[in-house]
Amino acid sequence: MPASQTYNFHPLFLFSVIRQESLFEGFVRSEAGARGLMQIIPSTGQEIAANAGWPPDYTGNDLYRPLVSVNLGSDYLNKQRGYMSGDLYGALAAYNGGPGNAMTWKNLVPPDPDLYLEVIRFEETREYIKSIFEIFSIYKHLYDRTP
């Protein structure tokens, strides 16, 4: 998966996020208006596309295109990882629950992923992170051929 190389994510991790976000259904739309494989809100997609200079002539419907959704979603998740000082739990919390909330939770505990999960105030976000890492663990067990 090229996006995994571009943004330095394990490809099975990105597949885990996609599975959690959309169950690999590219034309899914959430009640909040998020679209596509990585469930990006069109206004967020617009901001990412403007910063990246791609895709040309972006519209919210571009998020239904798998290549666009995966690249913009990976870009956004990578930015959240940077904002959260490399912490993947924090990046996922920011992706799901908002960067301001994720940083607030991070500042409540020392750098420990288990403690971080415990202070997340949104049950949906806690379960989101747990689910992605559970899926990632299963995918690595099934498909990862690297030592």
DSSP 8-state code for residue 24: T
**Which strand (E) or helix (H) includes residue 140?**
helix 123-143
Q: 68 near 55, Cβ under 8 Å?
A: yes
Mean of pLDDT values over 15-33: 95
111 preceded by a cis bond (ω within 30 of 0): no
Given this model, what pLDDT does residue 68 score? 97
Cα distance between residue 9 and residue 28, in whole Å: 23
pLDDT of 147? 61
For the segment 124-147, what is each residue's pLDDT rounded down to a tens digit?
A: 999 999 999 999 999 999 998 866
Cα(25)–Cα(104) distance, integer angstroms: 32
